[in-house]
Amino acid sequence: MMEKQLSSIVPSRNIPQLRFPEFEGVWETIKLDKIVSKVGSGSTPKGGVEVYTKTGIPFIRSQNIFSNTLNLDETHIPKTLHEKMKGSKVLSNDILLNITGGSIGRSCVVPNSFEEGNVNQHVSIIRLKKDSPKFLQALLSSFHGQKLIFQGMTGSGREGLNFQSIRAFKFKLPQFPEQQKIAAFLTDVDTKITQLTKKKTLLEQYKKGVMQKIFNQELRFKDDNGNEFPDWEEKKLKKFILDFIVPMRDKPKDLTGDIPWCRIEDFDGKYLSTSKSNQGVTMETVKDMKLKVYPVNTLLVSCSANLGFCAIVKKELVTNQTFIGLFPDQEKVDVSYLYHIMKLSSRRLNVLSSGTTISYLSRKQFENFSIQFPCLEEQTKIANFLSDIDKKIEAVTTKIEKAQSFKKGLLQQMFV
């Protein structure tokens, strides 16, 4: 395990809480100005987007910079213009720091494979003389570094960093070998997160592709004896939904009860059982206001704004009027199958509502909404197959979250 390489130390103003055991001594307080050969930024070329090209010299803007990652797009500038803007040339191992706007404080190190580029006025170039750029970028991303950035922000709305405030950053710095060790360790953590993220993306792409084949009937399942299932039939929802549950428009004043009161913000995955804000109603409120309580295994579908948002109810709950509840006849339809095909139908739902001023679908429109249905046994096989993929995606997501949490802890404890 990665964490076993580190030793926990009694906190000190000059020594980090987590440290590699082979290193000793206090970290030196240093001013950024003493260790840089350049702090600067560029400008938007005269003519703006009109001078951008799809090939040439990469032109880097704040939206290209994420936490420890440089994501280049198709925005380039001609070589001749790049030479005129030579004061803001970007080289490999430069640190790029966003210095304005909502993404202020995001930073990355330009990779070794990068040849050269240029930046606009929203991105600062920090070029070190000899210290580790990956160490300093990690420090800037840590709690300590973000505090420095916040304290250095200027303007009436504290909306920007200038070069003077960046050069004035003071922080604790270890000797170069320890910088390299810390940087390499954090790079390993980032590599793990990147690998897991790619794995998740591939699983999601696989699921999307296989769903299209399943619901276009290019891919069919067979029964347990290897026989073909009957042909699919197009049916209206009212043929197999026992109840279309439309909630009341009035919002309860008392939301301190035990029956969850859920909104669109509470949707997070396939199932819904709680309110993230811990809001709920009492049974007394339900009776007094004649609120509609969704039974377990109801499929909630957004009927306004975010049309097609779906979740399966796993615990009795109530919602606002953003949703309609589809309570299925379980002898005719598998609710998990219904979840997947209704999610896939979101575009059709949006088209259905396109003639209205506000995106909204009525109960009657849902009743007459038609979808393709196989027999119940094939529905279940499809639902189980897709659920198995979902479980794999969820497992990878959990690993990503743990790795990100681990890194966050490192950034808090490995710097002073």
Beta bridge partners of 172: 29
Does residue 163 have a pLDDT over 70?
yes
Torsion of CA 204, 205, 209, 212, to 10 degrees: 50
**What pLDDT shows up at residue 190?**
95
Angle between helices 176-215 and 335-344 (to 10 degrees): 100
Q: What is the mean pLDDT of residues 268-289?
A: 93
**Both tokens assigned to 168:** 């004035």
CA-to-CA distance for 411 and 81, rounded, in angstroms?
A: 39
CA-to-CA distance for 138 and 152, rounded, in angstroms?
A: 18
CA-to-CA distance for 134 and 170, rounded, in angstroms?
A: 17
CA-to-CA distance for 36 and 47, rounded, in angstroms?
A: 32
**What pLDDT shows up at residue 1?**
54
More confident residue, 355 or 386: 386
Does residue 251 have a pLDDT over 90?
no
Name 30's Cβ contacts closer than 8 Å, sequence gap at least 6.
Answer: 170, 171, 172, 173
Which contiguous run of DSSP H or E holds residue 302? strand 299-302
Q: Which residue has the tokens 């170039």?
A: 125
**Per-residue pLDDT reduced to its tens digit, 102-129:** 899 999 999 999 999 999 999 999 999 9
**Both tokens assigned to 386:** 């897709």
**Both tokens assigned to 72:** 């280049």
CA-to-CA distance for 65 and 295, rounded, in angstroms?
A: 46
CA-to-CA distance for 198 and 393, rounded, in angstroms?
A: 11
Task: Quote the mean pLDDT of the chain.
Answer: 93
From the DSSP assignment, how many helices (H) and strands (E) are in the chain? Answer: 10, 24
Indicate whether this model's pTM tops 0.95.
no
Other beta carbons within 10 Å of 49: 8
Does residue 357 have a pLDDT over 70?
no
Does residue 204 have a pLDDT over 80?
yes
CA-to-CA distance for 60 and 119, rounded, in angstroms?
A: 5
Q: What is the mean pLDDT of residues 280-284?
A: 94
Name 280's Cβ contacts closer than 8 Å, sequence gap at least 6.
Answer: 255, 256, 257, 258, 259, 260, 261
Domain 176-220+377-416 classification at class level: mainly alpha
**What pLDDT shows up at residue 250?**
83
CA-closest candidate to residue 281, choices 323, 311, 304, 248: 248
As annotated, the residues of the chain forming the CATH 1.10.287.1120 domain(s) are 176-220+377-416
CA-to-CA distance for 191 and 202, rounded, in angstroms?
A: 17
Handedness of CA 221, 225, 231, 234 (dihedral sign): negative
**What pLDDT shows up at residue 268?**
86
Taking the CA of residue 33 as centre, how many other CA atoms within 13 Å lie in the half-sphere pointing to its CB? 7
233-373 has which CATH code?
Answer: 3.90.220.20
Handedness of CA 370, 372, 377, 382 (dihedral sign): negative
**What pLDDT shows up at residue 356?**
61
**What pLDDT shows up at residue 282?**
95
Q: What is the mean pLDDT of residues 364-385?
A: 96
At residue 355 the predicted structure's pLDDT band, cuts being 50, 70 and 90, is low
**What pLDDT shows up at residue 9?**
63
**What pLDDT shows up at residue 39?**
97
Specify the amino acid at residue 249. R
Instruction: Determine whether 390 is exposed, middle or buried from the number of CB atoms within 10 Å of its CB (0-12, 13-18, 19+).
Output: middle
Burial 106-141 (b: 16+ CB within 10 A, else e): bbbbbeeebeebbbbebbbbbbbeebbbbbbbbbbb
At residue 352 the predicted structure's pLDDT band, cuts being 50, 70 and 90, is confident
Does residue 158 have a pLDDT over 60?
no
As annotated, the residues of the chain forming the CATH 3.90.220.20 domain(s) are 27-173, 233-373
Name 304's Cβ contacts closer than 8 Å, sequence gap at least 6.
Answer: 321, 322, 358, 359, 360, 361
Domain 27-173 falls in which CATH fold? Adenine-n6-DNA-methyltransferase TaqI; Chain A, domain 2 (3.90.220)
**What pLDDT shows up at residue 249?**
82
